[in-house]
Structure 1
Amino acid sequence: MPRPLWNAASQILMALGYILLAIAIPGSLYIGSIVVGICYGVRLAITVPMASEVFGLKNYGMIYNVLILNLPLGSFLFSGLLAGILYDMEATTTKTGGNTCVGAHCYRLVFVVMACSCAIGFAMDSFLAFRTKRLYSKMRALKR
């Protein structure tokens, strides 16, 4: 099975994990966190070898660094900016001047946005799988 399809499958499962986190039923925090964590691990394990298969090893160091750049960049954009802004929108101002929010609604919109971004990632991974179908069929033929 081509690696881009594994990435696409992990994106769909990750979107389901974020939806579980957004609906906030009892126990969904644990299950959703486990699903999202496993899917992140799958993506990290598959993306780097897939890049070497698709782009080759000539400029692998630069390609690897660009791929790994998604971790701090995504953390800053989604956790720092998006989650902070959306939390502040949901929070109520206290008498001391701070913001507070208690309950599942505080991060619900963040999880919905993350699920939507996973759906976009699924579409992109599916497109990549379609584009690299010929490459992976050639690789299978060489292994035989």
Structure 2
Amino acid sequence: MATVSFRRAGTPRPIWNAASQILMAVGYILMAVALPGSLYIGSIIVGLCYGVRLAVTVPTASELFGLKYYGLIYNILILNLPLGSFLFSGLLAGYLYDAQATPTAGGGNTCVGAHCYRLVFVIMAMACIVGFGLDILLAAKTKNIYTKIYRSRRSKKSSSSTESNGH
């Protein structure tokens, strides 16, 4: 049997995740270079990509693992938001900021300029590139599953159209 082409059946969700990872890496690199306005543009790109990932990851999990344990899988997937925020924003960004900052007379640290968070943005971009590779691997591993899903959808459409025509 011939496989269903992407053009006729649509793009598998892991490919959308991979595309959002690459765009997110571009957004982080834009923020790291610190050109005028690049923080705004990079933030918009990263925010849109987070939205794409949230919108795509949860249905992907239901397609790949089914609905029996959907609540558990959903909560595990959503756990990445606070966990990633803590690891990258709380620990990594805080530690790297303190490494770049200079002590002040009041006992705190201060850092002014793009160099304060540049390494954080570069590390985040590298994490996105690793995520891109993992998403591509997932897309390759789930190709047969998505082929079956698309065939099932097409057969349902064709059977419903023949029923509506009175055949």
Instruction: Report the TM-score when normalising by structure 2.
Output: 0.85
Q: Which runs of 5+ in 1 are unaligned?
A: none
Alignment partner, residue 134 of structure 1: 144
Partner of 2:131: 121
Q: Give the Cα–Cα distance (whole angstroms) in 2 for the partners of residues 44 and 143 of structure 1.
A: 24
CA-to-partner distance for each residue in 1:105-141, whole Å, 9 max, x for gaps? 0000000000000000000000000000001111111
> In structure 1, how many angstroms separate the alpha carbons of the residues matched to 2:117 and 2:71?
37
The count of aligned residue pairs is: 144
**How high is the sequence identity, in percent, across the aligned residues?**
73
> Larger Rg: 1 or 2?
2
* Alpha-carbon offset, residue 94 of structure 1: 1.1
TM-superposition CA deviations, 1:55-80 (whole Å, max 9, x none): 00111110011001001100100000
How far off its partner does 1:143 sit? Answer: 1.4
Counterpart for residue 15 of structure 1:
25
4+ aligned runs moved over 4 Å, structure 1 = none
* Partner residue of 2:59 out of 26, 49, 53: 49
Q: TM-score, normalization: structure 1? A: 0.99
- When the two chains are superposed, the root-mean-square deviation of aligned CA atoms in Å is 0.5
> Whose relative contact order is higher, 1 or 2, with alpha carbons under 8 Å and at least 6 apart?
1
Q: Which residue of 1 aligns with 2:107?
A: 97
Partner of residue 159, structure 2: none
Q: Secondary structure at the match of 1:102?
A: coil
Q: Residue in 2 aligned with 1:71?
A: 81
Larger mean CA deviation between 122-131 and 89-98 belongs to 89-98
Within 2, Cα distance between the matches of 1:59 and 1:138?
Answer: 21
Q: What's the secondary structure of 2:117's corresponding residue?
A: helix
Q: How does 1:32-43 map to 2 (within 5 A)?
A: 32-43=42-53
CA distance in 1, matches of 2:61, 2:115: 38
Match of 1:24 in 2: 34
Distance 2:59 2:151 in 1: 19
CA separation in 1, counterparts of 2:107 and 2:68?
56
**Consecutive unaligned residues in structure 2, runs of 5 or more:** 1-10, 155-167
> Which residue type is aligned with residue 6 of structure 1?
W
